Amino acid sequence: MDYWDLFLYLLLWYISLPLQNLKKQKITIHDISKALKIDSSTVSRALNDSSRVSLKTKQKILDKAEELGYQRNILASNLRTNKTNTIGVIVPRISRSFFSSVISGIEDTAQNSGYNVIICQSFESFEREKKIMNTLLSNRVDGVLISISMQTTSFDYLKPYLDYGGPIVFYDRPCSFENCSSISVNDYKASYTVTEHLIQSGCKNIVHFAGPQIIDLYKNRKQGYVDAIINNGLEFKESYCFESKLAEEDGVAFAKKIISMENIDGVYSSNDTAAIGAMQYLKFMGVKIPEDIAVAGFNNDPISSVIEPGLTTINQPDFEMGKIAANMLIEQIKNETTNKESKVLDVELIIRNSSQKN
């Protein structure tokens, strides 16, 4: 008989094994409700500090919640209130220092306003961007901040989210779509300034590394370059413009072309990454910077101050842009309105040795 007992005991133990690995049941308001014999609605109100609950009861409930280790189930709360207190951020790549600063700004503001942030990388892929937008909609984020990918030309994929009533704010790469707000820097003016700076430094034949022209941002940067060239009495040549995605390899490839062109004495790249690729190759080939060829970039990546010579570039208020973008979005979420608004921030020309011929 003792053996039988032992057997039963072992059997029960064996059966219970898989259960030990299951997620423990979390404490809910109903547990508190039962423990105190107080209706769960009152518990809910107490936990939300409602004035409909007496101080005495509130304290009892809070104490019990603490004691049981209660943790509000946000999923249930969100479902009921139809809010998630979460904003989605779509970013081309977080590894670009510009974007990671913007994100820090966004997080800063969001946290102060009680919002969570979901960061998603599109890796400059349109397909990925569409998928992300879908996920964000499914997750019912309260708003979306987006910097579109270099491939994005159609914006229909944003429709479902807008129809749902979620606000969207474009940052860095603005685009005129429906009544969405946007925040960016004055790319045209910045570009004009850098180009003029190169000209004043003595450049006569300046090539331009342009980004994808389907993106307004890069179109504006190119236009700034074009106008500065023309307004300063130089001749604009389309053959001096190289379009690419501005990766480091693109810069290297363009540098090769430039060397074969022989008369080039200046480079203005739409970002630092490509500028640095070009500089590395030019230096490797014995071209003197800035004496033979002056170089300027855009973004003020940390790397631009480390390379030799230091790279002249444009510094953008990245952190601030993130803060403002988040503020604009949260404003719209709270007001449940969508009054279009386009903010444009000013930038700063950082002059280093790469551009100073004299």
> 160 near 191, Cβ under 8 Å?
no
Q: How far apart are CA 89 and CA 121, in angstroms?
A: 8
Cβ at position 145, least distance to DNA in Å: 24
Site residues for a second copy per CB under 8 A = 21-24, 26, 69, 71-76, 78-79, 82, 84, 93-95, 97, 100-101, 103-104, 107, 116-121, 123, 135, 137-140, 160, 163-166, 276, 280, 302-303, 306-308, 336-338
Cβ at position 81, least distance to DNA in Å: 5
* Residue 67 structure tokens: 């004691």
Taking the least distance from each CB to DNA, the nearer of 63 and 127 is 63
Is there binding between residue 57 and DNA (CB under 7 A)? yes
* Strand bridging mode 313-315 / 348-350: antiparallel
Query: Contact with DNA (CB under 7 A): which of 21, 25, 337, 339?
Result: 25
Cβ at position 40, least distance to a second copy in Å: 16
Q: Which 292-321 residues touch DNA, going by CB under 7 A? A: none
Is there binding between residue 335 and DNA (CB under 7 A)? no
How far out from the chain centre does Cα 232 lie?
36
Q: How far apart are CA 343 and CA 181, in angstroms?
A: 8
User: Following DSSP, what letter does each residue of 198-241 receive, concatenated?
Assistant: HHHTT-SSEEEEE--TTSHHHHHHHHHHHHHHHHTTPPP-GGGE
Task: Say which entry of a second copy, DNA, none residue 52 contacts (CB below 5 to 8 A, set by partner kind).
Answer: DNA
Query: Contact with DNA (CB under 7 A): which of 7, 9, 34, 48?
Result: 48
Taking the least distance from each CB to a second copy, the nearer of 16 and 260 is 16
Cβ at position 217, least distance to a second copy in Å: 21
Q: How far apart are CA 329 and CA 180, in angstroms?
A: 10
Is there binding between residue 223 and DNA (CB under 7 A)? no
Q: How far apart are CA 310 and CA 352, in angstroms?
A: 5
For 256, phi and psi rounded to 5 degrees?
Answer: -60, -45
Task: Say which entry of DNA, a second copy, none residue 306 contacts (CB below 5 to 8 A, set by partner kind).
Answer: a second copy
Task: Say which entry of DNA, a second copy, none residue 263 contacts (CB below 5 to 8 A, set by partner kind).
Answer: none
Going through 64-188 in order, the beta strands assigned E by DSSP cover 86-91, 116-121, 143-146, 168-171, 181-185
3-state secondary structure 66-86: HHHCCCCCHHHHHHHHCCCCE
Cβ at position 354, least distance to a second copy in Å: 13
Cβ at position 273, least distance to a second copy in Å: 9
Q: How far apart are CA 267 and CA 295, in angstroms?
A: 5
Is there binding between residue 24 and DNA (CB under 7 A)? no
Q: Which 66-125 residues touch DNA, going by CB under 7 A? A: 70, 72-73, 76-77, 79-82
| 3-state secondary structure at position 168 | strand
Contacts with DNA by CB under 7 A: the residue count is: 31
Residues making contact with DNA (CB under 7 A): 25-26, 28-30, 37-42, 44-45, 47-48, 51-57, 70, 72-73, 76-77, 79-82
